[in-house]
Amino acid sequence: MSTYKIGEFKHKKQPFYLPVNNEVELFESAAKKKLPVLLKGPTGCGKTRFLEYMAFQLNRPLVTVACHEDLTTSDLVGRYLLKGDQTEWVDGPLTIAVKRGAIFYLDEVVEARKDTIVVIHPLTDDRRILPLEKKGEMIEAPEEFLLVVSYNPGYQTILKDLKQSTKQRFVSLEFGFPPREKEKEIVCKESGINEPLAEKLVELAGKIRSLKNKGLEEGVSTRLIIYAAQLINQNISVPESIKVAMINPLTDDHSIQKSLEEVTVSIFN
């Protein structure tokens, strides 16, 4: 069965999230009207952290499943397992989330098989039901249940994209990398480094992002900037921290790596 985690944010410290636009108000309104939500944006821009923050704000449990191509319908809803000489039904994470009135989050939903994703369709319309075909049961979602999925449009292909029949079941919130000043604030908060250093890291990230589709398939994420800053805060040298956290993850091409290292030197001269 697929691995998943259930987060109870009712008694934990509020996750740090810095709003960029009106995404908090939009999500709250969608949740109030029980509308399923699609979070769309590049990897590492804060979609998952945003959802953790909203789960805390709404005082609801959060059940997260990381999608992959081997994810089956049974992995989500549950299956019969043999225990001793008897079979026993074990709920999957989706069934648990529905029963508990939790927020259910399918992370990178396009990675899942299309025949698996169909199982969420009855939860995205007025029916708000989850069929358990193997048990011959139908579970009605309580008021608190909310379905959320995410994906990165930058990795869309003909074979890996959401069907229109699925896309049009969700309200869609678009995420991008934060504006420079806010990204600097996020890096400082998450790593503990000083503002001047965070500003230079963000400046470097901006230059690297400008090279997307010019030798790089993807720009450096806010997450990777934070990783570099956290290494620096652990007394790893700035060049080495940047190399292992912001350059190497983006490319295996040594000539491009060398060019990015030269850009780093120009900024941190």
Q: Are residues 193 and 259 in the same domain?
A: yes
Is residue 15 domain-shared with residue 76, that is, in the same domain? yes
- The rounded distance, in Å, linking the Cα atoms of 241 and 235 is 9
Among 174, 204, 233, residue at a domain's last position: 174
pLDDT number for residue 77? 96
Closest to 107 measured CA to CA, from 43, 26, 167, 164: 43
pLDDT for the residue numbered 165: 83
Q: What's the helix, strand, coil split of the chain in %, to 5?
A: 45, 20, 40
31 and 113 together in one domain: yes
- Say yes or no: 32 and 132 in one domain: yes
Q: How many folded domains does the chain comprise?
A: 2
C-alpha to C-alpha distance for 269 and 265, rounded to whole angstroms: 5
Give the range of the structural domain holding residue 31, as residue numbers without chain letter. Answer: 5-174
Question: Are residues 9 and 137 both part of a single domain?
Answer: yes
Q: Are residues 94 and 132 in the same domain?
A: yes
- Write down the pLDDT at residue 158: 46
Determine the angle formed by the axes of helices 23-32 and 47-58, rounding to 10 degrees: 50
Contacts of range 24-27, beta carbons closer than 8 Å, 24 or more positions apart: 24/53, 24/54, 24/57, 26/171, 26/173, 27/54, 27/173
What CATH number should be reported for the domain holding residue 51? 3.40.50.300
d(CA 206, CA 185): 15
Q: For residue 205, which of 185, 226, 220 has the smallest C-alpha distance? A: 220
Boundary of a domain, candidates 141, 174, 207: 174
pLDDT in 10s for each residue of the chain, 269 residues: 344 455 444 546 889 999 999 999 999 999 999 999 999 999 899 999 999 999 999 999 999 999 999 999 999 999 999 888 889 999 999 999 999 999 999 999 989 888 889 999 999 999 999 999 999 999 999 999 999 999 888 765 545 677 888 889 999 999 999 999 999 999 999 999 999 999 999 999 999 999 888 888 888 999 999 999 999 999 999 999 999 999 999 999 999 999 999 999 999 98
**Domain end position, chosen among 125, 159, 174:** 174
Please check whether residues 186 and 162 belong to one and the same domain: no
Residues 161 and 185 in one domain: no
Q: Are residues 54 and 81 in the same domain?
A: yes
d(CA 75, CA 131): 14
pLDDT at res. 1: 36
Does residue 139 sit in the same domain as residue 186? Answer: no
- Are both 169 and 189 inside the same structural domain? no
Q: Which amino acid, one-letter code, is at 92? A: G
Within this chain, do residues 144 and 187 fall inside the same structural domain, yes or no?
no
Report yes or no: 104 and 145 within 8 Å, Cβ to Cβ.
Answer: yes
Residue 25 CA to residue 31 CA, distance in Å, equals 10
